[in-house]
């Protein structure tokens, strides 16, 4: 499993015009599905009264990947899939691209739409700042009072971060750690009789 992924910083935009149809794209990073609808709504607020708002996203959490594409009223597979293909070909994860189209009065045909949506999506990515990020996961560690320090030291030694400690009824420590280090951490804390539970 790779411990890293590439995504977009901030919002990247692009405009593409073909046969009087105008395509406006916005690309951004997302961390989960709950962020999809708010971002699409933001784009609709900035680019008002477009004929269509088509989008695609790719979410990954290490080995698990979730992808989605919608044509939003355009002919089947003419808008969403080309946008998703651009995200895939750029090797991006946790990325969404929304493209708003204003119909120009001239039909582009399915092939023309595929090229237009795909081109606008690629232009968004070309205009974006790409960064490499690390996959993290949160773990809840259930321990005893006299071993809190041991757990914290193990976490910090592996480059993790203590997010929260709850003391009632027993100490529960929430740790954020790189996914590639989860196995090592679990082995070490289990070897001293401490249990851990993954958090989704």
Structure tokens belonging to residue 193? 């009789």
Claim to verify: residue 124 and residue 194 sit in the same structural domain? no
CB-based burial of residue 42 (10 Å sphere; 0-12 exposed, 13-18 middle, 19+ buried)?
Answer: middle
pLDDT of res. 143: 85
Q: Are residues 48 and 113 in the same domain?
A: yes
pLDDT greater than 70 at residue 1: no
* 46 and 128 within one domain: yes
The average confidence (pLDDT) of the chain is 90
Enumerate the H helices of the chain as residue ranges. 36-46, 80-89, 109-126, 148-157, 182-190
Portion of the chain with pLDDT greater than 70, in percent: 96
C-beta of residue 69 within 8 angstroms of C-beta of residue 81: yes
**Res. 129: pLDDT tops 80:** yes
pLDDT of residue 63: 66
Beta strands, E only, the chain: 4-9, 11-18, 21-29, 52-61, 64-70, 95-102, 129-134, 136-142, 161-166, 172-178, 195-198
Instruction: Clarify whether residues 127 and 64 are in a common domain.
Output: yes
Q: For residue 50, what are the CA distances in angstroms to 3, 6, 38, 118, 134?
A: 39, 30, 17, 18, 36
- Confidence band, pLDDT 50/70/90 cuts, at residue 198: low
**Co-location of 75 and 110 in the same domain:** yes
> Are 22 and 119 within one domain?
yes
> Across residues 146-169, what is the average pLDDT?
87
Q: Which residues pair with 170 in a beta bridge?
A: none
Judge residue 44's burial from the number of C-beta atoms within 10 Å of its C-beta, 0-12 exposed, 13-18 middle, 19 or more buried.
middle
Question: At residue 199, does pLDDT exceed 90?
Answer: no
My answer on whether 177 and 127 are in the same domain is no
Quote the number of domains for the chain. 2
Q: Has residue 182 got a pLDDT over 90?
A: no
Domain identity same for 120 and 141? no
- In percent, the amount of the chain with pLDDT more than 90 equals 59
Q: Same domain, yes or no, for 116 and 171?
A: no
Which of 77, 100, 133 is where one domain is finished?
Answer: 133
Query: pLDDT class for 125, splitting at 50, 70, 90?
Result: very high
| One domain, residues 92 and 150 | no
For residue 44, what pLDDT band results from cuts at 50, 70 and 90?
A: very high
pLDDT bracket for residue 116 (50, 70, 90): very high
Q: Are both 55 and 100 inside the same structural domain? A: yes
Mean pLDDT, range 56-83, rounded to an integer = 92
Q: What CATH number is associated with residue 185?
A: 3.30.70.240
Give me the pLDDT at residue 45, please.
Answer: 95
Query: What is the C-alpha to C-alpha distance for residues 124 and 97, in angstroms, rounded to an integer?
Result: 8
What's the mean pLDDT in 165-186? Answer: 84
Q: pLDDT band for 181, please (50, 70, 90 cuts).
A: confident
pLDDT at 48 over 60: yes
Structural domain harbouring 155: 136-198
Query: Is-contact 4 135, C-beta < 8 A?
Result: yes
Residue that finishes a domain, picked among 89, 114, 133: 133
């Amino acid at each position: 499993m790779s411990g890293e992924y590439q995504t977009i910083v901030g919002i990247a935009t692009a405009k593409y015009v073909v046969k009087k149809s105008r395509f406006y794209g916005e690309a951004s990073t997302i961390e989960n599905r709950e962020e999809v609808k708010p971002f699409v709504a933001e784009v609709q607020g900035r680019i008002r009264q477009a004929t269509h708002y088509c989008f695609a996203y790719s979410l990954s959490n290490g080995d698990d990947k979730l992808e989605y594409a919608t044509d939003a009223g355009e002919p089947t597979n003419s808008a969403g899939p080309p946008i998703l293909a651009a995200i895939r070909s750029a090797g991006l994860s946790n990325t969404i691209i929304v493209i708003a189209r204003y119909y120009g009065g001239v039909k582009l045909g399915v092939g023309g739409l595929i090229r237009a949506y795909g081109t606008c999506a690629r232009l968004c990515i070309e205009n974006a700042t790409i960064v490499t990020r690390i996959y993290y996961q949160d773990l809840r560690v259930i321990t005893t009072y006299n071993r809190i320090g041991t757990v914290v030291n193990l976490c910090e030694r592996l480059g993790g971060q203590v997010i929260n400690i709850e003391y009632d009824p027993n100490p529960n420590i929430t740790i954020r750690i790189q996914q590639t280090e989860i196995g090592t951490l679990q082995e070490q804390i289990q070897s001293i009789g401490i249990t851990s539970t993954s958090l989704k």
